[in-house]
Amino acid sequence: MIKKFFITGTDTNVGKTIVSSILLKKATMSGYQTAGYKPVSSGGQKKSSSFFNQDAILLKKSSSIILSDREVNPIAFFENAPPHILSKFQKRSIKKEELSLGLSNITKKSNWILVEGAGGWYTPLSCKDTFSSWVKQEKLTVIIIIAIKLGCINHAILTEKAIISDQIKCGGWIANNIFPKDKYNMHYIQTLLNYIKSPFLGVVPYFKNKNRINFKKIKIKLPK
């Protein structure tokens, strides 16, 4: 059975890619053939005559199967801005069919796929479509990444309600400590446990050096 999940966040810069890489490693350790997929990215670094997106590169490295840059990230914009705006300025349309084709190709090679969105749940792909409408079309199970910080409780509640109202399965949520731990962190998480009805998959601790993460010591569960 092929498992396909979609990673969304309560906002941008909540650590979706780091958590995605951890989940991919965990799934690989559980015996799955894993693949990370970043259908649309914005923000890149120059590499000779081209550029690459850091998130897509990390997903590629964290996958157990070999994928090309284009397979992992078919639509990439160099500037760091909302994809639908960059699409308009650069006259590079974002079509749901293209996103689906990329996912279909990866599905032929992998049995555990993690699709990382851009920004939050309703990030637009165009003037008519959002990421959420594509997720619903593909019937993906959603995982919410919640960055533990001021404002996260409201954002998390709204995000889960939006997913459920769209009649999409929410496979769980993960608390990500993006700042050094303080006395309120556990209170944030406890409040979220009271309000968020989807399964709690675990907590990712704060890492000062994100290049030296010990995946085996992070206690988060794989979504079902």
Question: Which residue among 16, 38, 60, 149 is the active-site one?
Answer: 38
The Cα–Cα gap between 84 and 88 comes to 6
**45 DSSP β-pair partners:** 52
The Cα–Cα gap between 131 and 137 comes to 10
DSSP 219: -
Residue 152 Ramachandran class (φ > 0 left, ψ -120 to 50 alpha, else beta)? alpha
Q: Tell me how many helices (H) and strands (E) the chain has.
A: 8, 10
Catalytic residue check, 181: no
The Cα–Cα gap between 222 and 188 comes to 22
Strand (E) positions, the chain?
Answer: 3-9, 34-37, 40-42, 45-47, 50-52, 75-77, 112-120, 141-147, 170-176, 200-204
At residue 194, the 3 state secondary structure works out as: helix
The Cα–Cα gap between 212 and 205 comes to 13
At residue 88, the 3 state secondary structure works out as: helix
Residues catalogued as catalytic: 38
